[in-house]
Structure 1
Amino acid sequence: MRSTKLGALGATLAVAALVVSGCTAQTHEEVPMAESVIIADQWASAADAGMAAVFGTFNNTGHHDAHIVSGNSPVAERVELHEVTSDATGSKTMREKHDGFVVPAGGTRDLVPGGDHLMLMDLREPLHPGADVEVTVVFEDGSTLPITAQIRDFAGADEDYAPAHHDHG
């Protein structure tokens, strides 16, 4: 009789653990990616026209990777996610990163000069040092994270730009 009660208790505890873990996993999945990501040390390069870059460090406090797929800003026609690659000669080329940026669960993703960054394309107005610029990043699940970045003087990371070919037709 005692082993039957222990067996029943064990089965009950196992079912309870499955229910609790299932609820916990479901809760994590329902949390929008943007709610688990913060940005620190964000800043943008000054520019009179053309394009400007936004840098900083994304920190994901969540239990799942957060995937940034696009962005927008009132000061630019469009926001592109960029990477910088080197060829065999050491020449650096900046280009659009079509698969976006992943901020790993419990980790960080640095946006830095000469590396990954957000690029404000076709500026609608000059970006003057000391002012702020607003940018919003969009995650794969559609959630958004607004960013305010201080504009600073910055000459660039000495890379060439390889623009993507956009089909406007």
Structure 2
Amino acid sequence: MNMRTARPTSTRRLTSLTAAAVAVVASLGLTACGSSGADVATQASGIVIEDPWVKEADSGMTAAFGVLRNDSDTEAVVVSATSPSTSSMELHEMAPHDDGDMVMRAKKGGVTIPAGGTHTLDPGADHLMLMDVTKPIKAGDTVTVTLTFADKSTMKFTAPARTFAGANEDYQGDDKSGTDMSEMGDE
């Protein structure tokens, strides 16, 4: 075999190996791209809200309720909420005050929805507090809420407003003074 014949064979093998290597790298790159896109599970991707609703209010505070269902195999933690219907929102809970009375206050650590479980947002319990509605929310209106989770993923839902005479709890704000929840938009 002379050198002229050997060179093209080596070149063909090198070219074939290079082509194979490029194909492998390209397929790995596509796989990596696919795994970092929509296929990656986020805390928000496993959550569904059932029967969401908001208490109607002319002004002041009101709240959003419903059942958060986690269809994933890992817990999800809601750390904040926003809505165009309010200037600010807080995650709230009912807890005993120093005097033993139940008061509403900001929920530290967020709202945890266990893997494969639910977390209920109810009047007199955990709920999403719209701190200062920007315009009246009437029964039948819809309110959009965006939840942000511990992994920074988000979930948006809409909730119809309902007439509800309850939810007149005391609010223990940052100043530690109770605020009468009748400010939540009496009907």
What band does the TM-score fall into relative to the shorter chain? 0.7 to 0.9
Give yes or no for contact 1:91–1:159 (8 Å, CA) kept in 2: no
- 1:79 corresponds, among 89, 94, 102, to 89
After superposition, the C-alpha distances for 1:77-116 in whole angstroms (9 at most, x for unaligned) are: 1110000113476522000112110000000000001000
Aligned positions, number = 139
| TM norm structure 2 | 0.70
Q: Does 1:67 align with 2:77?
A: yes
Following superposition, which runs of at least 4 residues in structure 1 exceed 6 angstroms of deviation? none
The one-letter code sitting in structure 2 at the alignment partner of 1:152 is R
The one-letter code sitting in structure 2 at the alignment partner of 1:44 is V
Q: In the superposition, relative to structure 1, how do residues 153 and 110 fare at CA in structure 2: closer, same or farther (>3 Å)?
A: same
Give yes or no for contact 1:60–1:66 (8 Å, CA) kept in 2: yes
Q: Does 1:58 align with 2:58?
A: no
- 2:149 corresponds, among 119, 139, 142, to 139
Q: What is the CA–CA distance in structure 1 between the aligned matches of 2:80 and 2:145, rounded to whole Å?
A: 11
Q: In the superposition, relative to structure 1, how do residues 110 and 142 fare at CA in structure 2: closer, same or farther (>3 Å)?
A: same
Q: What is the CA–CA distance in structure 2 between the aligned matches of 1:52 and 1:164, rounded to whole Å?
A: 18
Q: What is the CA–CA distance in structure 2 between the aligned matches of 1:119 and 1:43, rounded to whole Å?
A: 12
Structure 1 residue 70: Cα displacement: 0.1
Gaps of at least 5 residues in structure 2 are 1-34, 176-187
Q: Does 1:115 align with 2:93?
A: no
Gaps of at least 5 residues in structure 1 are 1-25
Q: What is the CA–CA distance in structure 1 between the aligned matches of 2:166 and 2:112, rounded to whole Å?
A: 24
SS at match of 1:77: coil
Give yes or no for contact 1:133–1:151 (8 Å, CA) kept in 2: yes
Matches within 5 A, 1:88-167: 91-165=101-175
The one-letter code sitting in structure 1 at the alignment partner of 2:109 is D
The one-letter code sitting in structure 2 at the alignment partner of 1:107 is G
Q: Does 1:32 align with 2:42?
A: yes
Q: What is the CA–CA distance in structure 1 between the aligned matches of 2:109 and 2:156, rounded to whole Å?
A: 20
Higher strand share: 1
Q: What is the CA–CA distance in structure 2 between the aligned matches of 1:55 and 1:96, rounded to whole Å?
A: 15
Q: What is the CA–CA distance in structure 2 between the aligned matches of 1:52 and 1:45, rounded to whole Å?
A: 6
After superposition, the C-alpha distances for 1:146-169 in whole angstroms (9 at most, x for unaligned) are: 11111011123342111125xxxx
| TM norm structure 1 | 0.77
Structure 1 residue 122: Cα displacement: 1.2
Q: What is the CA–CA distance in structure 2 between the aligned matches of 1:69 and 1:148, rounded to whole Å?
A: 18
Q: What is the CA–CA distance in structure 1 between the aligned matches of 2:126 and 2:174, rounded to whole Å?
A: 16
SS at match of 2:87: strand
Give yes or no for contact 1:92–1:158 (8 Å, CA) kept in 2: no
Q: What is the CA–CA distance in structure 1 between the aligned matches of 2:91 and 2:168, rounded to whole Å?
A: 18
